[in-house]
Structure 1
Amino acid sequence: MIKVTTEERVSAEFERLVAEFERFQSKMKKVDDQLANVGRMQSEIAAIEASASNSDRSVTVVAGPGGAIKDIQLTDRALAQQPQALASELMSTIQQAVAEAARQQAGIVDEHVAGLGVTDQVLETQAQLFGTSPEALRERMEQQRPTRQPSPPPEEEYHEDYSQQDFLDADSAPQAPTPPPSSSGGSAGDEFLRNLFGEEGH
């Protein structure tokens, strides 16, 4: 009787997941060929970083778009394990990170391209792979979805209300300069003439 080891079973499941990613990437290429404005979608996909850790957080893996592994972090506790145990923990954590990256990537595609249903296909495949339900994976996907800040409302332009303002109001109308008072009660011109003739008469 042939016994299948844990490493062989995990490796087979990982190969199956990689094959699913290849089919997913093929669909992505078709989308790129059909759409002209895929720049924003591609930017969002390129920024994907899905992190997964094992139960004691001694192994952490960060995966990017297309299942690319961006980072692997091992603590002293992880390095103290037996090689086979560490390999199993590492493979399982890589699998979780790659699967999360696939869910994120599928969600971005469905946000930009209606009618493809890529997320449903990915969740169905992963549910079979991990022995869970698509609903449970969808709930996890919603919990890990990054929250987007709403755009601030546009600033209102200020317009002064003139409807109740009297344009002939004394407070707003320009005031004529007030002539200086004279001792005789006449105008300033009369005062000047009196002073002029008065000086000539002296």
Structure 2
Amino acid sequence: MSGEFDQLVAEFERFQSSIRNVDDRFAGVGAMRQGLTELRARASSPDGGVTVVTGPGGAVLDVEFTDAALAKGPKALSAVLLTTLREAVGEAARRQAVLVEEHLGDNLGLVDQVLETQAVVFGTTVEEMRSKLAEGTPAPPAPAEDFSEERVLRQADAPQPPQVPPAAGSAGDTFLRTLFDEED
């Protein structure tokens, strides 16, 4: 009986540890959400005549033109505006991917997926897009604890306690033994 009780206590402690881990991970989601809300990306045309500011999801927040840009005429202004707009939206997407990956772990490969997609869309290389990421992304604040190697709901590759063969008992005993089994 004492062995069964010890096993149940150990399973309950493992369950509580998993709950604390989930709580810690979801605490980071609030920080991620705040970072996404505050996200801003700015891109300017090479001559500085057009500036576009975007926010989360690539939402256009501001567009600025200089008198020199307006004097170029509608077709030239339109071309410069579209190019600058694409750069600002691309920068916002890269920053979003970095924020999400910082808080949910790099096992998602999200930044790489965004860089690969943008390389195709912009007709350039992943390395070129990665250099833009390094230039345009401010240094992130150091996280309090690194959860990048862990899953959201359970630890990655956590050693499993040895399974004790089930002793003969009631259905209630079987239920309690499997209640905290993480494989289900």
| TM-score (normalised: structure 2) | 0.60
Equivalent position to 1:126, from 118, 125, 131: 118
CA distance in 2, matches of 1:76, 1:65: 29
Distance 1:149 1:64, change over 3 A: closer
More helix by share: 2
Structure label with greater radius of gyration = 1
Counterpart residue type for residue 33 of structure 2: Q
Query: Could you tell me which of 103, 109, 124 is aligned with 1:112?
Result: 103
Equivalent of residue 34 in structure 2, options 37, 40, 43? 43
Q: Deviations over 1:13-60 (max 9, x none)?
A: xxxxxxxxxxxxxxxxxxxxxx73311101001111110011100000
2: CA distance, partners of 1:147 / 1:113:
17
Structure-1 separation of matches of 2:112 and 2:142 = 27
Instruction: Point out where structure 1 has 5 or more consecutive residues left out of the alignment.
Output: 1-34, 152-202
Say how many residue pairs are matched. 117
Please tell me whether residue 103 in structure 1 is matched to residue 94 in structure 2. yes
Residues 44-123 of structure 1 aligned to structure 2 (within 5 Å):
44-114=35-105, 115-123=107-115
Tell me the secondary structure at the aligned position of residue 36 of structure 1.
helix
What do the CA deviations read for 1:108-144 (whole angstroms, capped 9, x no partner)? 1111112111111110000001111111211221122
Unpaired segments of 5 or more residues in structure 2?
1-24, 144-184
Shift of 1:85: 1.1
- Alignment partner, residue 175 of structure 2: none
Q: Which has the higher contact order (CA 8 A, sep 6+)?
A: 2
Amino acid at match of 1:36: F
- In structure 1, give the amino acid aligned to 2:63: I
Counterparts in 2 of 1:149 and 1:40: CA distance versus 1, 3 Å: closer
Q: Percent identity?
A: 46
